[in-house]
Structure 1
């Protein structure tokens, strides 16, 4: 009898899961958790994606829930502990790769406590300086950096922010230590770059393109493998072509579900994601943010997970060497 129960119980659970998946999403709303405050770049991406997902998911309501704090780990933990039914998802950026090293006592495992659904976009970074900085191009900047070791300060939007991570990698790549100046957000950091209180910052195009176009800052390079298309950025060299081999930083976003979400549900969400990423309105909105919608194999769950594992390997030694943590 016991052996029969052992055989029948998994079959019953599998059948129940398949029935639930067949009806997914039903009329229950889907919540996309954003582990950062409302109004920031990741929040804007999530709201655009929520709108684009509604139609391929049968018109179901898709809402955004902001759960900020602890380097993005509070919101991520909320999803890791949520019911694995496909109705609670996580939209996270490069923080999925930096949290394992950056956040002390993280209450989940990035690589095993989530189902990976696919990548959404890449946001390029730009290296900018105060308008009164003497160098006028990247080649002049490298000489100036070498002549002013110990005197240069580098702004960022806070520990663990995109600008902080890019700045750490840049210092490592050029072998010049700078005085890091953390701010409570990009806004005040940018204000001080424009005002000349700090020398340099490496930040997302979502935050820098307007300042570059308005000539409020000096722009030196982009962190992508190829030059960018927007008029304000197309003349900027890449750091790779400027001599920093393999230097590439983009602030990517990916979509995740709790571990144990049924495979048919994951497939439905991934199918909907692929449709959303081809939505002309979504693409236009992302281009307006300076972001590039993902069209390569990273839209597949396995490739998404493989990419994040490579990013963890890339950022872990950089963060450990800097000795920084997000509390």
Structure 2
């Protein structure tokens, strides 16, 4: 028995040493890192992830970083893929505010947001825009509110699917106007935007990362931004805030964060967090994000523990709103 225990202990020590060696060698130059995006390609979260992948390559020694789109079920399919992945630092998740809404929004969620991930840090804050089809007769928020009141029961409000940023913002917009609209969910932001431009739906509330180019090209009408102050981007600087438009409590920011599977070695997680911090200060990354109306995180949310506290507060904020709306993503 004693001989067995000595052998077992020696094997355990060797295993731990092996794990430590693997962690210290992270990342291997011949093994790519994959960032899973739980939404369709071409959408706003996909754009953020691809920009981040490029910005993190250099501080991680030039390793290849791939993006894998795994959409569906309010973002939980992609998140579950990462939660169940090997905790070695080679499979990561870029997710938005859905990390805070999934616990309430998704029935029978197969993982726990609070405990099944290593929180690596926040990435950005993305304001939303209230936009409409180009033929909508209103030209400012006052006229839009009057148009909505005159067309109750006839208005289609598009979104990128249950649990998407556009869906959540749409819920708040209806609540603010005290008017029910017919929700039209799509399988992603791109087809929703196509139908808005074509006039098949009337309104949408979506991230600046997806709407800025359409607003600039005058393919849609823009009525307000959901940030506390006007944005400096050329295409958005003349668009008033919701507060300026008479909705003092209407403020929505769709943030993004970076995560790894629970159990990822501490030194690997630190290397990833260090690379994230370098990326968030990269001038090219900042310029790309600002061009989309997004604000790169510069506060304590860059740290893992503080981002986790932030997400916990967001879960507490959104849970009653979703429950009151009675919506779920199966």
Scaled by the length of structure 2, the TM-score of the pair is 0.89
CA distance in 2 between counterparts of 1:197 and 1:79 reads 36
Cα shift at 1:240: 2.7
Q: Deviations over 1:190-232 (max 9, x none)?
A: 3443344433211122222233223333211101112111222
1:88 aligns with 2:75: no
Q: Deviations over 1:237-268 (max 9, x none)?
A: 11133333342222221110111112221111
SS at match of 2:60: coil
Residue number among 248, 251, 261 corresponding to 2:251 in the alignment: 248
Residue number among 312, 322, 327 corresponding to 1:324 in the alignment: 327
Cα shift at 1:161: 2.0
CA distance in 2 between counterparts of 1:285 and 1:239 reads 25
Cα shift at 1:298: 1.1
Counterpart position of 1:37: 40
1:102 aligns with 2:105: yes
SS at match of 1:252: strand
Cα shift at 1:269: 0.9
CA distance in 2 between counterparts of 1:217 and 1:85 reads 44
CA distance in 2 between counterparts of 1:104 and 1:111 reads 16
Cα shift at 1:15: 5.1
Cα shift at 1:7: 9.6
Counterpart position of 2:207: 204
Cα shift at 1:166: 0.6
CA distance in 1 between counterparts of 2:6 and 2:246 reads 67
Q: Moved runs in structure 1, 4+ residues, more than 4 A?
A: 1-17
Gaps of 5+ in 2: none
- The 5 Å alignment of 1:1-327 reads 16-27=18-29, 28-327=31-330
Cα shift at 1:12: 6.9
SS at match of 2:129: strand
Question: Aligned pair in 2 of structure 1 residues 50, 130: CA closer, same or farther (>3 Å)?
Answer: closer
Scaled by the length of structure 1, the TM-score of the pair is 0.89
Gaps of 5+ in 1: none
Cα shift at 1:57: 1.2
Please, which moves more after superposition, 181-190 or 303-312? 181-190
CA distance in 2 between counterparts of 1:69 and 1:61 reads 26
CA distance in 1 between counterparts of 2:140 and 2:273 reads 43
CA distance in 2 between counterparts of 1:60 and 1:279 reads 17
SS at match of 2:50: helix
Cα shift at 1:172: 1.8
Cα shift at 1:142: 2.9
SS at match of 1:106: coil
